[in-house]
A and B are shown apart, each in its own frame.
Chain A
Amino acid sequence: MENAERAIEWFGGLSLFAGQVIRNSFSPPFEFTEILKQIFEIGWRSAPLIILSGLAVGSVLSMHTRSTLERFGAESMIPTALAFALVKETGPLVTGLLVSGRVGAGIGAELGGMRVTEQIDALESLAVNSFKYLVVTRVVACVVAMPLLTVLMNFAGVLGGFFAETLVSGSSFTFYFNTAFSSLSFSDYIPPTIKTTVFGFIIGTTSAFLGYNATGGAEGVGRAATQSVVLSSIFLIVCNVLLVKFIFFLYPGSGS
């Protein structure tokens, strides 16, 4: 009972925090330099991970779809099936989970460390709004970086699929990419990519909340880092269900 109460209280705290993030994102001063720096850290530094994973995921998906579609004699649909799987769901979700692993832990640990070593207080004492400087910048960077990384993931995935496919059937690059994208419509491509901004917000907010409010020394920092990954992954997956439903609601056509 007490646990439930604490959990609800914690969630309430997170919600207020998220609200504060949104409010602060739209009021000056905007820490542009810091946002750019965080996009560098969160986006650029994650790119190798995302591209490698994309290549791997794409080639594996391609191999699986091949073995399935082969049975129906529908090998020509492999690029299409792969693009559908990647662009509509796998790409955004895998990117979200990878980013929550890499960046979520990073934000949780970094802000947690700054909190327990009084660096956040130091910032405040230097007349810097630490919330804007540390939290808002990271959340904004996550929101910006997520769709970009998702695009990278999608293309790396299709490329990985192409490599896997060309080894077996020797299909041409142009043909593969054209087929892959030709059956998609904008409603298959744009909403799933845009929805990752929500993933970015979830990852940024959850891990920043845990880090910013960390207590208890080094151990607390570790806890904040772990929880950042676990909780942001869970929230992301749950929220994805709602988002997918919401996208179907907005674009009934994308349901098929």
Chain B
Amino acid sequence: METTKKLIVGMFVGGCLLLFGLGLFLIGNSNQLFTKSFNVYAEFSKITGIQNGGKVRVAGMDAGTVTRIEVPTGPEGKFRIHFRIVEKLHPIVRQDSIATIQTDGLLGNKYLQIEAGSSNVELALKDSQIQSKEPFDWGDLMDEMNGVVKQVNGIMAGVKDQLVSTLTEIQGTVKSANHLIKDATPNVKSILASADRISANLQEIIDGVQKGQGTVGALFKDKELYASIKRSADKTERVVDNIRDTSASAMKIVNKVEESDIVPEVQRSIKNLQQITLQVKDAVDKFQSASGEGGVGENLQRTLADAHEAMSDLSDNTEALKHNFLFRGFFKKRGFYDLGALTTPEYKNPAFAKGFKKHRVWLDSVDLFTKDAKGLELLSVEGKVKLDEAMTDILKFPRNGPLMLEGFAAEGTPAQQHLVARRRAVRVQAYIVDRFHLRPSYVGVVSMGAEPADKGTVVGFKEGVGIVTFYK
């Protein structure tokens, strides 16, 4: 064996080992293995798949790796994730830095994100604990939002009750209180409307997810929408906290009013009216803005306005989410996005419920409605029997598309026609949804106004309700 051959072998082996080492170095470098670093840890109740060797990023910059994961000893315990951060980034890791578990890109690995801290807080100590925020989970957001919605609902109900009771208690006694309530009521109402809408939207999205129409993880692609939802959710949460605080103070005042026995007093005796009025006025003054800045009334106003804004944001966002391409398929397949927002031209458009077959049952308004004292149409007993019969026919068909209630009316101006037609359909909707336990979001109402009757059946114009089921 000649020397040259030996030389070549040496170069070959050495070169390959060098390449291998280069690979090691590149990997180690990206994991910050060769840089001076310090160890800290954070605790999470769930770690959503983060692993030993997982990446750690400080404010988005690669900063180290997860070194060890301690498993909790009991179900109430938390996972303790130990990780390294390069010394270079230590100045921005403060004691108020927060660790979260994030996903890298669309379908990427999990990594630990450490937010930069505040400059007036001390540096995070070595081997100390970093505060953590539980991993964000779409399901959690749903739960959270559900919770928030419920909370809002509850609080709203509470606030409303309180307001209403306060209202009745002091109505006619103190005008300023009236003003306050008047100012608050529209806000409260619109908040409640938004809340209803959010829960409906979320319900539909959850339906979509369950049907496998959208991968939750893939939602992250629509970053802007996601961030927007998250912002709204955060805001809502904050607002709800405020509302809670404010309503608690409101409650106190109401209690005070109650404690002062003004209500029975009012009822009992008119003689003491003057005195009572003064007492109540005093209480309401406090309620309104007695203590100058941060007055409860003002606070409540502001919070409610905030809540209103946040809730309508959230409502818009959930609506946008429905149109997100991942869910679009589901809604397309279903044939409609939101029956509640359906306009008559949209309904008449052939694109509506494309690909569905339909079955129609016609009911004359004469058979369905009686008129009450004010001349409003209500469902008659016979009408309900008719509806039951009609629904038995309708329910024979597969329930996989929308059920539309078309209202027809031909009397009066077009606006009156529209309103009457709509009311008729709404009456029928209310009855059948309740009676046959239908899913409200699948039962739509559309006002068709005046339309010539089908040939041969009825003469003149259609007066009544058509029940149309769409199916596949």
Contact = CB atoms under 8 A, between A and B. Distances in A.
B30 interface: yes
Nearest to B53: A185
A162 B16 CA distance: 20
B13 A77 contact: no
Interface stretch (A118-126, A145-153, A200-208): A145-153
A43 interface: yes
Contact of A253 (B12, B13, B52): B52
Interface string B11-25: 011001101101110
Contact of A74 (B6, B8, B24, B105): B105
Interface stretch (A18-26, A32-40, A55-63): A32-40
Report, as a range, how many residues of chain A touch the other chain.
35 or more
A44 B12 contact: yes
B109 interface: yes
B447 interface: no
B109 A183 contact: yes
B106 interface: yes
A130 interface: no
B187 interface: no
Contact of B23 (A72, A151, A183, A187): A151
Interface in A178-215: 178, 180-190, 193
A256 interface: yes
A178 B30 contact: yes
- Residue of A148, A187, A253 with most chain B CB atoms under a 10 A cut-off: A148
- Label chain B's interface by main secondary structure: helix
B31 interface: yes
A98 interface: no
B35 to A, nearest CB: 14
B26 interface: yes
Interface in A58-81: 72-74, 77
Contacts of B62: 182
Contacts of A39: 9, 12-13
The 5 closest A-B pairs by CB, nearest first: A182-B30, A148-B16, A181-B26, A151-B20, A185-B53
Interface of A: 33, 36-37, 39-40, 43-44, 47, 72-74, 77, 87, 144, 147-149, 151-152, 154-155, 177-178, 180-190, 193, 253, 256
Given A155-B22, A181-B26, 8 more contacts: A39-B13, A43-B13, A43-B16, A73-B221, A148-B20, A154-B23, A182-B26, A182-B27
Interface of B: 1, 5-6, 8-9, 12-13, 16-17, 19-20, 22-24, 26-28, 30-31, 49, 51-53, 62, 105-106, 108-109, 221
12 contacts: A33-B1, A43-B13, A44-B8, A44-B9, A87-B23, A148-B13, A148-B16, A151-B20, A177-B26, A182-B30, A186-B24, A253-B52
